[in-house]
Amino acid sequence: MSTDTPDNSGADTPDRGTADVIDGETRELDAREIDGEPFGEIMGALDALPADETLVLVNSFEPEPLYAVLERRGFDYETSRRSDDEWRVSITSSR
């Protein structure tokens, strides 16, 4: 039996990593929505981040352990606290 359903596989769209594209220069990854350890998805989003774009990481706590990893990988970051359970880290390439 065959059904006509749209193909939502994303095959026709470029791979933009795991982060949502906000505009042509900014992507956002909300780690609060990731089941389990978010480190792998964060690294995947950074790997897919073009040099001229910014990744905004949203988290429920300040991700201090991530800062050393970002520095080693050549990224600059700026952190702001929006509320008790919302931290935003803007990440850009320093390359």
Q: Between 14 and 59, whose confidence is greater?
A: 59
What pLDDT sits at residue 15? 39
Q: Between 7 and 63, whose confidence is greater?
A: 63
Query: Under the phi-then-psi rule, with left for phi > 0, alpha for psi from -120 to 50, and beta for the rest, what region is 17?
Result: left
What pLDDT sits at residue 3? 42
Over 70: is that where the pLDDT of 87 sits? yes
Q: Where are the chain's structural domains?
A: 20-93
CA distance 42 to 11: 22
Is 20-93 a domain of CATH 3.40.50.150? Answer: yes
What pLDDT sits at residue 18? 67
pLDDT in tens, 8-52: 444 333 333 468 887 879 999 999 999 999 999 999 999 999 999
